Structures are given as C-alpha cells and as structure tokens.
Amino acid sequence: MTESVREEFIASDGYRLQGRVWHPEDQSARMTLVILHGIQSHSGWYEASCRQLCENGARIYFFDRRGSGLNQQDRGHATHWRRLVQDVVQLLSQIRFHQEQQGQTTPLVLQGMSWGAKLAAVIAAERPELIDGLALLYPGIKAKVKATALQQLQLSLAERLGIRGKRVPIPLDDPTLFTADPDWQEWIRDDPLALHEVSVAFLLANRELDRRVDAAAAQIECPVFCQLAGQDQIIDNQSMEAYFGRIRSTQKTLITCPEARHTLEFEPNREQLTAEYITWLNELDSSAKIC
C-alpha cells in the first residue's frame, strides 16, 4: 500500500510548511498534483483519495496551509492574501523548474478543495504558466455560509483600527455539514489538527481573495475539472455552476455527485468519485497545454 511521507517546505519568509507527499512506488509519475485543503481541514483528511491517486500514477505535494494542520506556528493566521498565494506559487515554481531541468512533460495540476479552491482559482488566473490544469472539488468559491453585513462592517472597522491578531471562530463546527456518516462525524469532531479559529488578518485576506476569485473566472484558460456535492450544505451549487459557466477555458468538465454532502472523501463511494477525477487526469494532454 502506498503511504505518504512527511516533508517540509520552507517559504520565502522562512515559515516551515509541513505536509504530506506521495511518490509513486516506481518513481515514474504520469502527473503531478499540488493540493490545497479547506479552511478547517488539512492534508490528513485526504489520505485515502491521495493514496488512490498515487497508485494511479500521481506524484502529490500536499502541504498544509500556514497556521493549519501540521503547522502549529501562528495558528489560523495569515498576514496578507498575497502571502497565501506566494506560498503556493513558490512551490509550483520549484516543481516547474525541476520539470524543465529534467525535460519532463507530464501535467502539473493545481487541485483546490472547499476553501482551497478559492485560492487555487486566483493562482490559476494570476500565474497560468505554472500549471497545466485546475481541479476544483466542492469549491468554496460560492458559499452558503457568508458573513453578515454587520460582520463585514465589524471587519472593516477592525482593519481601520489595526486590529489584526484577534481570533474569530470559524462557523463550521458542526461535523454534519461535512458528511452524513456518523463515524466520520465523530472523527472530525475529535480531530486535534482541525482549525477552529482564524485571525482578523486571515479574514481580511479571505475577503480580498473573494473579490479576486470572482474576476478570475474570465482569466482561467487551462483545462478545468469540477466536482460538486449534490447535498452540500456549505457550498451554493447553483451559484457555483454559474461561476463555472463563466470560466473562460473551452476545456471544462463538471460532475455533480447527487447524494454527497460536501467532503467527498467521507462518502461511501469515495473510490468511484476519485476514479472519475482520475479519468479526467488521464485525459489531460500535457502537449496541448494552453495555460
């Protein structure tokens, strides 16, 4: 059975990002994935699907977002939206450089899940030369859970007063939002690495990403794969479908999983859902890169 290895990636500001990496056993990857997790989750939530992807030829780099998961420094904090973008851009740039040095032509895909899809879409729009494909799984680009007008006003006031370190609860503490499976609900509830609070600075970064991701649709030209959970209680699927329709790429695949509730990893037919994604990955032609 293919297992992950713990690795460290040092960001340009010296932050030591921890994560999990999967290497195909024969070391001859047919594709490379850089994966971004949700606001509360981390790479440990996705061991099963990553193992399945790796066994089908994917090399996977899954570093937890700074302040999340395995990263204990500055929990729930990000100084700026650009800092979050730069962490991913730096990793993609290093992988792309290595590919070019080695003469590799295998596709490099940026995969974002839930909140991570928002960050992935902005990067795909801003740095198209770094990726060959974009995967958006139950993407948090259009969410049902939104800040109220009063909360937005309070956030703007905190920004004006320079209040950036104050912690605010993430409004997703109910595990039933993620899955209908009681065992997985208990697992989420007891997860010691899950994130439950973020800083005001992180919320400000998130607000700017929201603004930029809306405009990003018209700039994304690479092949795009999107999976929606039909019973999602976190994502506004109707608005997400409209957003997907605005993505500029002419190579787009949208799949809805009718019975799923947000985190596809916790669905009983996870292997089948991951296999649909693998089919799309296998069809990616790196020689036809248009990003």
- Kindly report the CATH number assigned to the domain that includes residue 248: 3.40.50.1820
Whether residue 119 is contained in a domain is answered as yes
Tell me phi and psi for residue 47, to 5 degrees. Answer: -60, -45
The confidence band for 27, taking pLDDT boundaries of 50, 70 and 90, is low
Q: Please tell me the predicted confidence (pLDDT) of residue 1.
A: 66
Percent of all residues in the chain with a pLDDT value above 70, rounded to a whole number: 97
In a domain, 288, yes or no: no
Write out the residue range of the structural domain in which residue 134 sits: 5-281
**Residue 291 counted as domain residue:** no
* 148 has pLDDT over 80: no
pLDDT at residue 276 in the model: 97
| CA gap 172, 191 in Å, rounded | 14
211-222: pLDDT as tens digits? 999 999 999 999
Asked if residue 235 has pLDDT above 60, the reply is yes
Residue 90 has pLDDT above 90, yes or no: yes
pLDDT in the model for residue 290: 41
Whether 207 and 112 have beta carbons less than 8 Å apart is answered as no
Buried residues in 214-231 as b, exposed as e (16+ CB within 10 A): bebbeebbbbbbbbbbee
Could you give the number of structural domains in the chain?
1
Is 287 part of any domain?
no
- Looking at residue 42, the DSSP 8-state letter turns out to be -
Q: Contact 110/123 with Cβ under 8 angstroms? A: yes
**pLDDT attached to residue 80:** 96
Q: How confident is the model at residue 280 (pLDDT cuts 50, 70, 90)?
A: very high
Over residues 20-40, mean pLDDT: 91
Q: What is the greatest pairwise CA distance in the chain? A: 55
Q: Residue 285: its pLDDT value, please?
A: 60
pLDDT (0 to 100) of residue 57: 93
Asked if residue 95 belongs to a domain, the reply is yes
Q: Name which of 12-16, 189-193, 201-205, 285-289 the model is least confident about.
A: 285-289
pLDDT of residue 286 exceeding 60, the answer is no
* Average pLDDT across the chain, whole number: 94
Residue 21's contacts (CB-CB under 8 Å, 6 or more residues apart) are 4, 5, 6, 7, 59, 60, 61, 62
**Partners of 58 in the beta sheet?**
31
The answer to whether residue 239 sits within a structural domain is: yes
Position 286 in a domain: no
If one counts every other C-beta atom within 10 angstroms of the C-beta of residue 90, the result is 16
Who's near 68: CB < 8 A, 6+ residues apart?
A: 37, 42, 75, 76, 195
DSSP 225-285: EEEEETT-SSB-HHHHHHHHHH---S-EEEEEETT--S-GGGSTTHHHHHHHHHHHHHH--
The residue among 277, 238, 236 whose CA lies nearest residue 143 is 236
